[in-house]
Amino acid sequence: MGLCLPCLGGQSDDYDQPSPETKRRQQAAAAEQRQKATEGRGLKDPENVKRKQQKREEAERKANSQPQGEGGLKWQMG
């Protein structure tokens, strides 16, 4: 004995599928949200951690950008 369900036959007509571009945007937004949630897992203040990391990177850049040998002894051949 088979089941005949006419209400399932026209299901695709009732539901409008989003365009591929809209679907991509939604997936990208969901991926960003998951990434933010994963980054902050286990931290009370994930923004504070990011600020500290940026300060550390900035200090490293400043240290690397200073000319070498400044303030050192200069030897003269004579």
**Which tens digits make up the pLDDT trace of 40-50?**
778 788 788 88
- Region 19-34: mean pLDDT is 95
- Region 10-26: mean pLDDT is 79
- Residue spans of the domains in the chain: they are 21-63
Q: Are 23 and 30 in contact (CB under 8 A)?
A: no
Cβ neighbours, 10 Å, residue 50: 13
Q: Are 44 and 38 in contact (CB under 8 A)?
A: no
Rounded-to-integer distance, Cα 76 and Cα 35, Å: 57
Residue 18 has pLDDT above 80, yes or no: yes
pTM over 0.75: no
Please report the pLDDT score of residue 53 as a whole number: 93
Please write the tens of the pLDDT for every residue from 46-63.
788 889 999 999 999 988
